[in-house]
Chain A
Amino acid sequence: MITFEAVSFAYPTASGAESGSAVLRDVEVEVPAGEFLLVAGASGSGKSTLLRAVNGLVPHATGGRFSGTVTTFGRTTRDHPPRSLADVVGFVHQDPEAQFVVDHVEGDLAFVLENLGHGRDAMRRRVEEVLDALDIAHLRHRSPATLSGGERQRCAIAGALAAAPSALVLDEPTSQLDPQGAEDVLGAIARLNADLGTTIVLAEHRLDRAAPPADRAIRIVEGRIVDSGHAGHVLATYDGAPAVTRLGRLLGWMPPPLTVKEARRHAASQVDPPSATMLTAARASAPGDPLVTARGLRVELDARPVLHDVDVDVRAGEVVALLGRNGAGKTTLLRSLAGLQRADRGSITVAGRAAYVPQDPNSLLFAPTVRREIEHTLRLLGRSDPPAVDAWLTALHLEAVADRHPRSLSGGERQRVAIAAVAVGGAEVLLLDEPTRGMDAPSRTALQHAVERHAANGGAVVLATHDIELAARCATRAVVLGDGDVVAEGEARHVLTGSLFAPQVLRVLPPFLTVEEVAAALDRSRR
């Protein structure tokens, strides 16, 4: 059992003794043994801090002003630093790469057991069991650096689980993963909870898969717990809820569904479903002039063909969603269009400029403030354009953090800063690689609006993404890549309909793609 009694916490500020504003305020939570608790909340709401307090990383590793009591399985974190709680709490970080101590999967699993001084035979048995529990026995002799994101995160969970802790605390374990990796990881977590009775405390932004197995959810806003209870009820009023949950709230379904299956059941008994005839006309107005034309594009990396004879057109006013599994060639295509990857064959014509925003915003950020970061791109181009800087700060909802250090921001905020820093250069075509990775709901909405605005102003955007909901919300056209070929291409609604990867709403109430479309249709039929 984990209990928080009147816990408040403030991080130390850079200036020294004075602590900053409180990140946790009077938090009271009780997690009974064996529960699966979901912690929901926007970036910067205090989720991570709450999770870190469970095993004493807050305040032992961070410093700052801590009050109240956290008791984890009978031990207070005041008296026990994280290393003394290693046998009862396992902690998993969002970045799967940064948690391996030993460059060898099996050796890394044994790390905690060696530290706790387990006997040789006990150690052998535990490692074998954990390898099976997370289904990673085939990876035991590999180096974590050579694994895929999902495999790596499962190995990191195994490393936290090796000492058979009573609780596992996971801070956004799937935010850096593609959908397949996320599914594997969440499946493994749900199994641990169900089969071994491990208490799970999980914070996550993308709740489509994380919400259904949770017994209970709590919601944090500015360091306070504002809601607690059944995940459907707690999430119904939350922006970041799965699309079906928001649909359920719109149509008054009780309890709000968490899965497509539950939502379908409600939809089948819906007396008066929103009519398809009320669907707004296609988003795309007549496409404008071609901005990017690629013909017969062929790219090989390490003598392995990554793109075969790909033809792509991007016209002014379009938002093109580039879909496909990992390794299908999405990033290579974007890099080729941006001129960063030389094509082995074929031609690319770009009218104006095409600018690329890499997947990892950290590789771009170096300035001391967000505003200076964005201004710097213009300085590199030999221009100065304060209105453009302000326009992008506003478009991506970054005004509030304009004077903060980019590195002090959340993942989603950093991603937006990177997009603003590239877009401010005035390129007609923006190529965004996996822009919603690690983003919370408000960040995604801000991104969506900025993308739509750029397209409406005569630009074009290509989004390489796994985020089907984002594609459903703003794409006018979709291109699906498979093993280096274009396997489907056309109007977004057309491509997404009938696909196995259709957005949730489409699977519940076809032909609607998003909750917003259903809301608009309801609105119109009422008039």
Chain B
Amino acid sequence: MRPTSTATLTAPTATGDRARARTATPALVWLSWALAAAAAVQLATNPLYVTLVVAIAALVVQSHANRGPLGSAFPVLIVAGIAFAGIRLVLTAATTHGTGDVLFTAPEATLPRILGGFTVGGTVEAPVVARAAAEGWAIVGIIAAFAAFNAVVSHHELVQAAPRAFYELGLAVTVALAFVPSTIAAIAAVREADRARTGGHVVRRGRLMRQVVPVLESGMERAVSLAESMDSRGFGRRSTAGEAASGWLGLGALLLLGGCFVALVARARSTALVMALVGGAALVAAVVVSSRASTRTRYRPRRLSAREWVLAAVPWITPTMLAVIGGAAADTLRWPGDVLAVPAVALSPVIALAALAVTPLTARSA
């Protein structure tokens, strides 16, 4: 249960630890930044512009990241995004065929009707690959925005800022996040213990079992003592009928909004609209009912200062400007990818994207 050996030794020391002070930029500002950055990537999928957004996200991480495994997960998430884009590229190249220079011809096979009946393999054309790569890179751009958000935000503060109706849900998420570092440490300790047991003699057979069981059992024990600790500290006390009602309303709202999304995908627009309206109403009702009913109080709620409002608003300059530029005729926001050439770049989108860097450059660091 305790981190041992490697984990202990590489754990951050007290002296090198940077405190997450209250003067740090509020979670809501970063949320606003991340949404604006993601919107910018959607509006300007030109790989060079996306690269600019990824660079700004890296700047955010570099200057504001929290300590600990969540704070240092940025590169891992980027690599995961690139891997995902790579897989997507291979699948697209194998199944989509267009015109243009043929890079090479792969063996082809036609799938049976039941699996869709399309042809896999065959000619692989350069424009298809280039376009898929650009689309994949845009996905990486969006992942970068949220990975940076994850690295800099105080998850606890985010839960505190969430409406009352989502408190329990948010708490479950923070508790789960708090398990991440200890689980990583436990995995390292268990792997080492497994090697130590035989004095360095490595036995592969049954290793998964030997390594998974201790990690899970330690996690279970921890969960039980955490539950006891929460119970002893008054969690769940005096839950009123109103809280239960808001819980059901909140759940209903989530289901309806989810259904609305499904309906949109299925192109059933009127159903989607009804679901969205009812879901939205349920959401508002849940928030109102729960904030009236709750006996819980909130410790040091964070109010945004005027300066912080500005920091939250500035990133939205980017998508606004990009939308305007996109309306003009000859824009460089999208790259057609028909011809293998360096995508064209114009000055105005670059200036628009630079607005995304304002918040990280002027926000107070933790």
Contacts and interface: CB of A to CB of B under 8 A. Distances in A.
Interface stretch (B46-54, B78-86, B169-177, B332-340): B169-177
B1 A353 contact: no
A158 to B, nearest CB: 12
Contacts of A381: 198, 201
Contacts of A117: 238, 295-297
Contacts of B189: 358, 360, 363
B192 A99 contact: no
A101 B214 contact: no
Contact of A99 (B195, B214, B225): B225
Contact of B213 (A366, A422, A427): A366
B20 A143 contact: yes
In this complex, which of A52, A103, A120, A123 has the most chain B Cβ atoms within 10 angstroms of its Cβ?
A103
A123 B8 contact: no
B5 A335 contact: yes
Given A102-B156, A357-B196, A358-B196, A95 B234 contact: no
A95 B2 contact: yes
Interface string B1-31: 1111100111111100101111000000000
Interface string B186-207: 1001101111111111010000
A360 to B, nearest CB: 4
Given A110-B299, A113-B297, A425 B197 contact: yes
A302 B10 contact: yes
A93 B66 CA distance: 28
Pick from B17, B195, B227, B228 the residue with the most CB of A within 10 Å. Answer: B228
B197 A421 contact: yes
A74 interface: no
A83 interface: yes
A387 B175 CA distance: 46
A93 B227 CA distance: 11
A356 to B, nearest CB: 4
Contact of B9 (A52, A55, A95, A332): A332
B233 interface: yes
Nearest to B23: A141
Contacts of A95: 1-2, 222, 225
Interface string B159-186: 0100000000001001101100110001
B229 to A, nearest CB: 4
Contacts of B12: 146
A359 to B, nearest CB: 4
Interface stretch (A84-92, A215-223, A455-463, A498-506): A84-92
B199 A97 contact: no
Given A95-B225, A359-B2, A145 B232 contact: no
Nearest to B11: A146
A364 to B, nearest CB: 4
Interface string A195-225: 0000000000000000000000000000000
Chain A, interface SS category: mixed
B116 interface: no
A10 interface: no
Contacts of A407: 217, 221
A355 B225 contact: no
Contact of A127 (B210, B234, B299): B299
A392 interface: no
B235 interface: yes
Nearest to A96: B2
Which of B8, B66, B186 has the most chain A CB within a 10 Å cutoff? B8
Contact of A359 (B4, B66, B213): B4
Contacts of A422: 196-197
A112 interface: yes
Contacts of A176: 2
A83 B236 contact: yes
A297 interface: no
B222 A377 contact: no
Interface in A26-73: 52, 55, 57, 60-61
Which 6 residue pairs spanning A and B have beta carbons closest together? Answer: A86-B234, A110-B299, A115-B234, A366-B213, A91-B232, A99-B229
Given A120-B297, A127-B299, A339-B199, 5 more contacts: A83-B235, A93-B228, A331-B9, A377-B198, A422-B197
Interface of B: 1-5, 8-14, 17, 19-22, 66-68, 154-156, 160, 171, 174-175, 177-178, 181-182, 186, 189-190, 192-201, 203, 209-210, 213-214, 217-218, 221-222, 225-238, 295-300
9 contacts: A95-B222, A97-B222, A101-B233, A102-B174, A117-B295, A145-B178, A145-B181, A340-B195, A433-B5
